[in-house]
Structure 1
Amino acid sequence: MITRRKFVQTSLLLSGGLLIRPTSAATSLTSASTANDWFMPDESEPHTRTWMAFGASQAIWGKKLLPEVQRNLALIARTIAQFEPVSMLVRKSDYALARKLVGASVTLVIAPMDDLWMRDTGAVFVVTEKGDKAAIKFNFNGWGNKQEHTQDMHIASFVATQAATKILSTKLVLEGGGIEVDGQGTAIITESCVLNANRNPGISKVSCEAELKRLLGLEKIIWLPGIKGKDITDGHTDFYARFAKPGVVVAGYDADPQSFDHAVTKKHLNILKTATDANGKRLHVVVIEGPATIRPTYESNDFAAGYINFYVCNGAVIAPEFGDKKADNAAKTKLQTLFPNRKIVQLNIDGIAAGGGGIHCTTQQEPKI
């Protein structure tokens, strides 16, 4: 089974489906000049809607896990739909099942796709102070050609068309899960993902940073090292650190010394606790440790048992729970303190977690202007 936590190369790969990427640091990343007035809002700013994808398939998820993953996707969609509109992409062949599972509260949009990870395949929306909106197409390449993506590589453009927004082009290759912003000029990004040769070969850190600043309206990027080769994403930011609001970061810590994430999360905390934002202010870092135990039903070596991959929607924070009552309650209490004016809703998403993903990975917000 191909999951976000396991590398399985599929027909190495997709001979006709790869996008052209720059091959040297001298290559310009900018496809077209644009005024630097676009910016990516913080996730907690008002949304027009949430985009999702009912894209799990037996070929990727396996016969046993697929039904639970589909139920998890529907549960997430129905829950978010209590707070804001949800548009969910679905294959024509899965439409009847999706409609049965999500009910009438979710808008279904027929589209071809390979998988369910809208955070990574979908458009990253940016806005201007004047009220303009655009969608960035970050040239999804299957997390560095690790998974079939001949259909998912077009999802960003499809979503942009559905949202009736212009597309901002770039030659940079990355995924939305690798980007975390405070909406006021600061971003947290992992080097292991964006500065990886499987996405952006030959691109210098300086060139990459300049292009990200242009596209996302950034003044400062806090780079975390992340970790390559341990999960399919090469260490996305949204499993390690999230902004609760400008100046306040929620960070994960893996307390298990035997875990590959133990040392890197410790290093991340040291960086974040001494970092300053675009305004020169020291970050306040709140740590949420993962659960000590999980439910055994879908336990796997790929299971992503962490609370950092929550999703902030209008009026609520949608977060996971893993059956460890003490850890689940502690996470909920901290999130409620961090988001006092939002309802904290915890969901059992064990099927998706067994594939190495989380709630945030399945969603992409479209900001309201």
Structure 2
Amino acid sequence: MTHLTPQDPTPRDLGFAMPPEWAPHAATWMGWPQDDELWFGHLAGVRDEFAQLVRTIARFEPVQLLVRDEESERDARARLQGANVTFHRQALDDVWLRDSGPIFVTRGKQLSLINWRFNAWGGKFEFQHDDQVPEYVAATLNLSHWDRPEVLEGGGLEVNGAGVGLTTRSCFLTPTRNPELSEADYAALLRSTLGIEKLLWLEGGLENDHTDGHIDTITRFADERTIVTSVTDDPQDANFAVMQRNLQALREMTDAQGRPFEIVELPLPEARLEGAEGRLPPTYANFYIGNGFVVVPQYHDANDKAALERLRPLFPGREVIGLPSRQIIEGGGSFHCVTQQQPLGAPWRGEGS
């Protein structure tokens, strides 16, 4: 297994790029929830919802599940008996593998990954164990890969698989991540590492999102030309103005060939949810796309059904499934935040392999 550094040929130099989420998966990587304090006393309910999510994903593709300790593994095995799940004992601080896990890249039928630094959204929580997850995955899969010095979280970036990336200034430009990087610097970095030829910027995300406004909680690619973006009808909601600015900006954006996108408005949940640390950021945009399915978080909200109806036509050939996330959202994220897709591909073990 080779470790490549910024001084070595970049992924783009060698023909690697980040595929879109709807490309075929070999597996989904996840971590099992632990530590009742992290979940503000909701761990039992969180594990109930996690079990439903893991079992649903495992109907369509293998799940690679990280478990922190003996208690976590025992609990997960009991709840997931018979499901297509492989268990890995690995130290974890939390379960947000979209951000702490690797970002995979492919070249034809070959698979590699990039190990970015993870600092828990600017040092907000413990992260030393989670920062080691990409190396564990690389070793497990025996992948030669790139080690990068920059902080980057998968939930902060959307790609369409055709050269376009989408992010938010409120997240990427925080001084607690990479204070030395400008918008132009990020564009160059993501071009060389992930094959993003055109990086598009929205201003911000949801109120009280501890990630500083990850793109995957508000605005998602459904395919190369279709963008789903969150909106609210309530002008008194603190999210109203931000979501409207995002909507208007998206309507003026174009793809790598200069063509406008199709923009689909997705309602935010109607009810305001309060958690232990203030307002929670529930959203239907935090869906996860897999092999033949899309799982969409539900919150026992009046807009749950409308969100599913809005999303179903966008994913022909995939079963769009609503699952409960009312307990999971207590931790600040939902289904996309706790998953990381492993694209289909044979392990790359260095140039010429």
| Kept after mapping to 2: 8 A contact 1:136/1:167 | yes
Aligned to 2:351: none
| Kept after mapping to 1: 8 A contact 2:19/2:105 | yes
Aligned to 1:248: 226
1:57-96 alpha-carbon deviations (Å, 9 max, x no partner): 123223x211111222221111100111101100222111
Amino acid at match of 2:236: Q
1:69 aligns to 2:46 (yes or no): yes
Amino acid at match of 2:158: E
Q: Percent identity?
A: 37
1:90-133 alpha-carbon deviations (Å, 9 max, x no partner): 0222111111112231211110000010101001101013x221
1:87 aligned to 44, 56, 64, which one? 64
How does the TM-score come out when normalised to structure 1? 0.87
Q: CA deviation at 1:257?
A: 3.0
1:368 aligns to 2:352 (yes or no): no
Q: CA deviation at 1:31?
A: 4.6
1:52 aligns to 2:33 (yes or no): no
| 3-state DSSP of counterpart to 1:98 | helix
Q: CA deviation at 1:146?
A: 0.6
Q: CA deviation at 1:269?
A: 0.6
Amino acid at match of 1:113: L
1:287 aligns to 2:268 (yes or no): no
1:18-59 alpha-carbon deviations (Å, 9 max, x no partner): xxxxxxxxxxx9353321521111101110000000033123
Matches within 5 A, 1:167-316: 167-227=145-205, 230-293=208-271, 301-316=278-293
| Kept after mapping to 2: 8 A contact 1:31/1:170 | no
2:96 aligned to 114, 117, 140, which one? 117
Measured in 1, the distance between the counterparts of 2:248 and 2:255 equals 15
Measured in 2, the distance between the counterparts of 1:161 and 1:55 equals 23
How does the TM-score come out when normalised to structure 2? 0.90
Measured in 1, the distance between the counterparts of 2:322 and 2:253 equals 30
Measured in 2, the distance between the counterparts of 1:348 and 1:50 equals 19
1:328 aligns to 2:307 (yes or no): no
1:141 aligns to 2:119 (yes or no): yes
Measured in 1, the distance between the counterparts of 2:269 and 2:182 equals 37
Q: CA deviation at 1:341?
A: 0.9
Q: CA deviation at 1:320?
A: 1.3
| Number of aligned positions between the proteins | 337
| Kept after mapping to 1: 8 A contact 2:229/2:247 | yes
1:118-165 alpha-carbon deviations (Å, 9 max, x no partner): 101001101013x22111111001110111111111111112222222
Structure 1, gaps ≥5 residues long: 1-28
1:102 aligns to 2:80 (yes or no): yes
Aligned to 1:153: 131
| 3-state DSSP of counterpart to 1:280 | coil
Amino acid at match of 1:362: V
Measured in 1, the distance between the counterparts of 2:267 and 2:227 equals 14
Measured in 1, the distance between the counterparts of 2:170 and 2:196 equals 20
Measured in 2, the distance between the counterparts of 1:228 and 1:361 equals 14
Structure 2, gaps ≥5 residues long: 346-353
| 3-state DSSP of counterpart to 1:242 | strand
1:126 aligned to 78, 83, 105, which one? 105
| Kept after mapping to 1: 8 A contact 2:27/2:342 | yes
Point out the structure with the larger strand share: 2
2:327 aligned to 337, 351, 364, which one? 351
Aligned to 1:164: 142
| Kept after mapping to 1: 8 A contact 2:32/2:76 | yes
| Kept after mapping to 2: 8 A contact 1:55/1:113 | no
Measured in 2, the distance between the counterparts of 1:295 and 1:205 equals 33
Measured in 2, the distance between the counterparts of 1:183 and 1:342 equals 18
Aligned to 2:318: 342
